[in-house]
Homo-oligomer: A and B are copies of this chain.
Amino acid sequence: MRSDGDSSGFSACVRRAWYVACASSELRDKVLARTLLGTPIVLFRGPEGKPGALLDRCAHRNAPLSVGRVVDQRIECLYHGWQFGTDGRCLKIPGLCAEMEQKIARHVPRFAVLEQDGFVWVYATPDVDPQGKPFSVPSLGEGGVEVRRIVQVESPLHAALENALDVPHTAVLHRGLFRGVREPQRIKARVSRTAEGVQAEYLGEPRPEGIGARILSPSGGVVTHFDRFILPSIAQVEYRLGSEVHFLVNSICTPVDDYLTRIHAVISFRTRFPGWLVKILLNPVATRIFKQDAYILKVQGENLRRFGGEHYASTAIDVLGLQIARLLRRAETGAADAEEAPEEWSREIELDV
């Protein structure tokens, strides 16, 4: 049971924020149904192809608009043919003789929409014109290759984010694929508050010893590695091996429901090999890693659900998890970020990888 602006159940989701509702290529001349923070939304393209996002409920008899069709850049309800523009206003009521009055009760709540970087971004609070812009997907510039993937994990948003930015699990859950082959080596992580969230910079990290890393950088070399959480829902991992290898993975997460997260991953890289070759070589490894993560997130999510919530213990090497949860809670309640000076926030920890 969800109402228009209900946030019950979402203990750590920011409702006053932009999320990816779908890839631009998924929204063509047909309506598209999506769920965002538990709220059913219908997407369609209006005048000049601009996308609109309305609550997926006709104002009249509450049929889902997503079973309707697009007519004259409006969405038409299948039941009685009421038509709505991308602004949610009712523009036609078949059979009604009176002048079309703009009664507010006949409007459908609408969500601000912005098409950017190949994504349709939707602002999760209805009937609001937000000041801020969605996250701008960075590019590696010339020579960069980009791959996009959409995956769903049956897990709460913050568990998915923590997983995407967590180092220690890679040597266990992904043993042999990425880390966990050789003897652990002590490194440092510098954790600091950034303007948009929190980041960890790993210092002294050896080249990952998995198959993937050996292919890309046979000679080893110095590793630069950043993990960044960017509010409200982006996990960014950046790797450089020497000067020739550069990887940037943006996992742009959409909280679908309490226990379902949709991830639009944008993987950008630059290596000394042609892009198509790297894709062929890395694809099987990436697929296995993802399947392992999706599995553990699913069983973790099931456990959180059957135990009725979280009961976590953390250690120093849970580098970003607690910060992600804390920042989400703060952002959710609208606590001013200004109170907190970024400087207070930098500290170093040690871990064995």
Write the residues of chain A forming the contact surface with B, with a CB cutoff of 8 angstroms: 1-3, 40, 56-57, 59-64, 67, 77-81, 93-98, 103, 105-106, 159, 162, 166-169, 171-173, 184, 186, 296, 299-300, 302-318, 321, 350-353
Q: Chain B residues near A321 (CB, 8 Å)?
A: 61
Contacts known (A97-B352, A168-B95); A307 close to B80, Cβ less than 8 A: no
How many copies of this protein are present in the complex? 3
Q: Chain B residues near A40 (CB, 8 Å)?
A: 303, 306-307
Contact of A78 among B57, B78, B106, B296 (CB under 8 A): B296
Q: Chain B residues near A299 (CB, 8 Å)?
A: 63-64, 67
Q: Do A303 and B64 have beta carbons less than 8 Å apart?
A: yes
Q: Do A316 and B98 have beta carbons less than 8 Å apart?
A: yes
Return the chain B residue nearest A184 by Cβ. B95
Q: Chain B residues near A309 (CB, 8 Å)?
A: 1
Contact of A62 among B2, B80, B81, B303 (CB under 8 A): B303
Q: Chain B residues near A315 (CB, 8 Å)?
A: 60, 93, 96, 98, 106
Q: Do B79 and A300 have beta carbons less than 8 Å apart?
A: yes
Contacts known (A168-B80, A172-B78); A57 close to B307, Cβ less than 8 A: yes
Q: Chain B residues near A172 (CB, 8 Å)?
A: 77-81, 94
A186, A303, A314: residue with the most chain B Cβ atoms closer than 10 Å = A303
Give CA–CA (A164, B45) in the complex, Å. 33
A81-B171, A95-B184 known; 20 new pairs, CB 8 Å cut-off, are A1-B305, A2-B306, A57-B307, A57-B311, A59-B311, A60-B313, A60-B314, A60-B315, A61-B300, A62-B311, A62-B312, A63-B300, A78-B296, A79-B300, A80-B168, A80-B173, A95-B168, A95-B352, A95-B353, A96-B352
Q: Chain B residues near A159 (CB, 8 Å)?
A: 61
16 A–B contact pairs at CB < 8 A?
A: A2-B306, A3-B307, A57-B311, A59-B311, A63-B299, A64-B299, A64-B302, A67-B299, A79-B172, A80-B172, A93-B317, A94-B184, A95-B351, A96-B316, A97-B317, A98-B315
Return the chain B residue nearest A59 by Cβ. B313
- A270, chain B: closest CB distance, angstroms: 29
Contacts known (A67-B299, A95-B168, A95-B351); A1 close to B308, Cβ less than 8 A: yes
A56, A59, A309, A315: residue with the most chain B Cβ atoms closer than 10 Å = A315
Give CA–CA (A61, B156) in the complex, Å. 13
Give CA–CA (A105, B59) in the complex, Å. 50
- A46, chain B: closest CB distance, angstroms: 21
Q: Chain B residues near A184 (CB, 8 Å)?
A: 94-95
The 7 closest A-B pairs by CB, nearest first: A1-B308, A81-B172, A95-B168, A105-B313, A59-B313, A63-B300, A97-B350
Q: Chain B residues near A95 (CB, 8 Å)?
A: 167-168, 171, 184, 317, 351-353
Q: Chain B residues near A97 (CB, 8 Å)?
A: 186, 316-317, 350-352
Give CA–CA (A317, B64) in the complex, Å. 21
Q: Chain B residues near A167 (CB, 8 Å)?
A: 95
Contact of A61 among B67, B93, B103, B312 (CB under 8 A): B312
Q: Do A2 and B173 have beta carbons less than 8 Å apart?
A: no
Q: Chain B residues near A166 (CB, 8 Å)?
A: 80
Contacts known (A79-B173, A103-B313, A299-B64); A308 close to B94, Cβ less than 8 A: no
Q: Do A62 and B308 have beta carbons less than 8 Å apart?
A: no
